[in-house]
Each structure stands twice: as structure tokens, then as C-alpha cells.
Structure 1
Amino acid sequence: MVGVAVLQARTNSSRLPGKVLLPVRGVPMAVLAAKRAANTGRQVIVATSTEWSDDALAATLKEYGLNCFRGSLENALERIVDALAEYSEETVVFRLTADNVFPDGGLLDELETEFLTQGLEYLCCNGEPSGLPYGMSVEVTRLAHLREAACQSVDDHDKEHVTPYVIRKFGRRYSEKYKSLKQGHLRCTVDCLDDYLLVQQVFSDVLEPMKISSLELVSKLEGAPFQPRGDRPTPRLVFGTAQLGSEYGIANKTGQPDWKAAQGLLKTAIANGVMYIDTARAYGNSEAVIGQSLRHGWEGRARIITKLSLLQTCPEDAIASVVHAFVDASIFQSCASRGVRK
């Protein structure tokens, strides 16, 4: 093996703050991710920020004997390049993140072999194109390309996500070694509390969490909470929520579901690939139920489509500015019900 792995980690995650310090089998998640990446002998550098919010993370990494570099919080690209200042241009670099604990040294070794034997400049694995769950995320490139990206990138998105410049230059190439497994519909990243509880469950009976292979962990995802029930997602379905906000439907014999049932329905739909949730001001308290159910990390996993109120109190002869005011009020009420600012 010739490459070095850089694991990005920070504690100020907006959806699950401090998640990289949460324990999995008694080991902080960032430590577990780093130790697993290094379990075949590869050098791993954990790159975090110089902000005070990451002081505890840096101290924890030191306690576990891990190599920690501290740099810019917002410019992750610069942080990684600075962490590798002493390495040569041709160094093979693996980019990992601390909220993905499934990748291990064996997977990195396989990707390195593919990267080198095929003479590639960029390679990744993650999700359906690779046949592996979302969260088995690894990117491989040359340090020279990252240094060029750091010099040329002016967009904040490029600086935060590290590799967009490289991908635009060389294309996005997915490893397809495990495509036949067809496990890309599953999820193993940690973005919210439900994700963390899932990872806890997967590792709960693992005796050697730093040594178990990635594929063994993947096999434990089937049937876990909020994992898809089929092997094909359903992105073309829209989940209607009129009944979540009222006793809607002529065939409805059970009435309006309680909040717990509504939350389960919404999360199950999203986990199975539904990308759009339909609601309206006229659907009782449906908007509020959706907002409450999808807090803490689920908000961005589906788009919410709502409709204006019936504007029944708007005068029929109202001038345009008055109609606009009623429309604005309806939109404001929808946002307030869902707990969003805009």
C-alpha cells in the first residue's frame, strides 16, 4: 500500500452536534472510523479544525494515539492539503469522513489496487453506482490534484466538499467491484439520531468493531429500522398527508393517526425512496405533523410540496397587492407550522 487516508472530523454538525464523539461499542465514532481505516496498516490522519469546539475531539484522538492535524473549519480542502504538506505530489490520497464508520482497511486496499492498476486520477465508491450502501463513502485521488484544486477553487462549495474541482476535471468514476451486491438502497451513514441508533444496533454484538469487515457490517443492515424493505427505491411515488392532519377519506375507519404513527409512516416512506411529501394548508395540522416528524436530520431527505390556503377571507374584488399579502400570509403560516424560517 502506498496511499495515505485523511479522515475529516468536526464536532459542530448542525443535525447531530458532537456526533463524532458519540460512542459505538464504547469507542468514539471518529476514533472507530480512523482505526477501521487503518486496520491493514495504512497511515491515517484525522483532520479537524483549530476551533475551540474541536478541542475535545483533538484531545480524544491524542488519547487513542491517532495522528491529528488541525486547520481551517470552513475550508476542508485547505485543511486536507495542509495536513499533507510533507507528502509528494504523486501521493495517493483517500478522503474519508468520521460519520461513516463502515469503510475499513480492506476496502481501501481494494480501491487502491483498482486506482493504480487502471491508471485512474479519481475513484470513489458509495451508494447505488457501487452496489454498496450510502455511507460506504471513500474517494481516491492524487495529492497533486488536491493541491491544484486548493489553488484554483474560489467557490465555497468546492472548498467544503473537497473534490468537486477534481471531479469536474477528470470525471466521477465509481468502483463497480461490488455492484452485483445491489446494496446501494441501504444506508449506513450517521447524519441524525436515528442513523446513530442504527449503527449502534449493527455494532451491538460485534466483538471486534475495529476488525470486522465492511461487507460483514453491510450484511447486518437488512431488516434494520428505517432501511428499505425492497431492493428498488420508489422515487416516483408522492406521499400524500391529508389523513395525517385530519380524519380524511371516505374509506377511513381509523381516523387521524397519532403523531408516533404519522412519524413512522413518513420516515418509512422516505427510507424507501419517496422524495416528495404532499401537504396543504387545508389538510388540518398536516404541515405541523410533518415538521415535527422530520426534525433532527430528516428534513433534507425529501421535498415538501404544500398548497396555499383557500384564501376564503380574501375579498373577491381585492386588488393585486392585497391578494399578494394573503398569499404571503399563507406561505408564512406554512413555514411556521413546519418550523422552518423560509
Structure 2
Amino acid sequence: MSNRVVAIIQARMTSTRLPGKVLMPLAGKPLLYRMLERVQRIRGLDAVCLAIPEGKAHDPIAKIASSEISLYRGDEQDVLDRTFRAAQQMKADTVMRVTSDCPLIDPEVSGDVLSAFENSPVAYARTAFDSGYPHGFDTEVFSFDALSTAHSEASEADEREHVTPFIWRRPDRFPAMELDHRPDLREWRLTVDTPEDYELISQVFDTIYPQNPNFGFAELKNLFAEQPRLLEINASVSQPKLAGMPGES
């Protein structure tokens, strides 16, 4: 039985806290370009699709798509619909969801999530929430059937905006698993939502990328062990939470 695995990356120019962040430079290229470099190294993927909103404001993002990166344009606010239709266009059986504000996503970790999903009787697997991985390694993998059900039934605004809440709020309908990591490194904020986040990520790329463009989790651990003050740059930035998230206090 065939299983076509497609990574779908959602991106837009109109970020609330840091507009245009996906085009901000990292080691001489747009943030989104660097992120896509890493996604393309994830083992087990059959295709990668960039899912962006319609409208001229987002045209600069579309130019980053290439012969190796497919493009889908859809609704800006209903991201669940955009993701579903991108997966439909790509004929996906399994969907990996990563967001464009995670330019340090680790291909090995994301590949581990996919492997765990494929080897377990679940509809949804993830690193996110209380898994112990840094914020910015967040990877979700789910069946197209689960996505289709969410697309048909989800009615809450946050379920349409954030794609997967309908799925992870219903573990009785969608059996789930989470990859764990110890020690708990959730205090490492490696996603880009604020100028402080960008400053940290930019310094990471400037330090490691020229010598090792394929750097990953191990190299980040070494860097922060040698230069722990880097993590202080965005330590005051809070991580938003959605209602019902596992680990929510």
C-alpha cells in the first residue's frame, strides 16, 4: 500500500508580531529559504509544499518556491482549509506540518517523528507541547484522513487558524503519540516571533552555518554549552498557548 508523505510549510508576510519575518536574512538568504533547506533533508519525504495566502502582499514568498518546492495559495485566515487543499493538491496520504518561523528545525528529529508515526497505530504524532524539545523543533505528522475530518468538522476559530487543535483535542478519535526528549529543553526558544528571537537565530546562523551548513541539534547543544548567554537574548519572550494544550497549567 502506497503512502505518499508530503511536508506542508505554511508561511505568510503578515505576521502579527514580526511582519515580513520569513524574508529576513539568515546567513545571506531569506529565513524561509534556510528553513526549506533543512526541511528538504528530512528522511522519508516524497514532496515539500509551501502553502501561502493569496494576494499580492505574499508574492515575495511565492518566489522562493522552486522546481523542488511546490506552491499552493489559499485562504489567509482559514489555515486549516489552506493546509487541507494543499495536501489534496499534492495527493498526500500522510502530512508533515512545520511552520515557517522555525528555521532551526532539525531534520533528524522531524524524521524521527515521521518514523514513529509510520510504525505506530496512531493518527497523529508530534514533538510539540510538553515533549521536552526546544520550541522551534515542532513537527506534527498526521494522516490525510484525520486532516480531512478536521477540515469537515472543525468550527472553532482557533481550530481553523492553527490546523491541528481539532485533532489533538480529541485523542479518543485520533490516537496520538509524542516524542519525548530529556533533559527538558523547552526553555530554549528557537522560533522567530519577535526581534529578540530573530537576533538569537541570526547569531546562531552566523556562528555555525559558514563552517557547517548542515548543522543540527548536536551542534546547537555544543554552541549553547560554550555560549550560554546566547539563550538570554530572547529568554523574556513568552510562548503563546492554545486552550487544551497538553502540559498547560
Q: How much has 1:144 moved relative to structure 2? A: 1.0
2-structure distance, mates of 1:65, 1:211: 18
Partner of 1:109: 111
Q: Which residue of 29, 53, 61 corresponds with 1:49?
A: 53
| Alignment RMSD | 2.6
Residues 40 and 145 (structure 1 numbering): CA distance in 2 closer, same or farther, change over 3 Å? Answer: closer
1-structure distance, mates of 2:148, 2:212: 34
- In structure 1, the gaps of 5 or more residues are 229-266, 272-297, 302-342
**TM-score (ref. length: structure 1):** 0.61
Percentage of identical aligned residues: 26
- In structure 2, the gaps of 5 or more residues are 242-249
CA contact (8 A) 1:36 1:105 kept: yes
> Is the radius of gyration larger for structure 1 or structure 2?
1
Partner of 2:96: 94
Partner of 2:232: 227
CA contact (8 A) 1:4 1:92 kept: yes
CA contact (8 A) 2:133 2:185 kept: yes
**TM-score (ref. length: structure 2):** 0.83
Q: Which amino acid letter does the alignment assign opposite residue 70 of structure 1?
A: R
Q: How does 1:226-305 map to 2 (within 5 A)?
A: 226-227=231-232, 270=236
Partner of 1:154: 155
CA contact (8 A) 2:6 2:90 kept: no
2-structure distance, mates of 1:300, 1:116: 30
Match of 1:185, SS state, is coil
Q: How does 1:109-258 map to 2 (within 5 A)?
A: 109-126=111-128, 129-170=130-171, 173-176=177-180, 179-205=181-207, 206-207=209-210, 210-222=213-225, 223-227=228-232
Q: How much has 1:221 moved relative to structure 2? A: 3.7
Partner of 2:74: 71
Q: Which has the higher contact order (CA 8 A, sep 6+)?
A: 2
Q: How much has 1:3 moved relative to structure 2? A: 1.9
CA contact (8 A) 1:133 1:218 kept: no
CA contact (8 A) 1:34 1:46 kept: no
Residues 224 and 10 (structure 1 numbering): CA distance in 2 closer, same or farther, change over 3 Å? Answer: farther
Match of 1:85, SS state, is helix
Q: How much has 1:210 moved relative to structure 2? A: 5.0
Match of 2:169, SS state, is helix
1-structure distance, mates of 2:53, 2:217: 28
Match of 1:204, SS state, is helix
Q: How much has 1:7 moved relative to structure 2? A: 0.6
1-structure distance, mates of 2:239, 2:87: 35
Q: Which amino acid letter does the alignment assign opposite residue 94 of structure 1?
A: M
Residues 209 and 80 (structure 1 numbering): CA distance in 2 closer, same or farther, change over 3 Å? Answer: farther
Q: How much has 1:86 moved relative to structure 2? A: 4.0
Q: How much has 1:219 moved relative to structure 2? A: 3.8
Q: Which amino acid letter does the alignment assign opposite residue 227 of structure 1?
A: E
2-structure distance, mates of 1:226, 1:86: 40
Over residues 197-222 of structure 1, what are the superposed CA-to-partner deviations in whole Å (9 max), with x where a residue is unaligned? 10011111222665222332344345
Q: How much has 1:93 moved relative to structure 2? A: 0.8
Partner of 1:31: 33
CA contact (8 A) 1:36 1:210 kept: no
Q: How much has 1:116 moved relative to structure 2? A: 1.6
Over residues 219-238 of structure 1, what are the superposed CA-to-partner deviations in whole Å (9 max), with x where a residue is unaligned? 4345144539xxxxxxxxxx
2-structure distance, mates of 1:28, 1:209: 18
Match of 1:173, SS state, is strand
2-structure distance, mates of 1:300, 1:37: 24
Q: Which amino acid letter does the alignment assign opposite residue 58 of structure 1?
A: A
2-structure distance, mates of 1:84, 1:200: 31
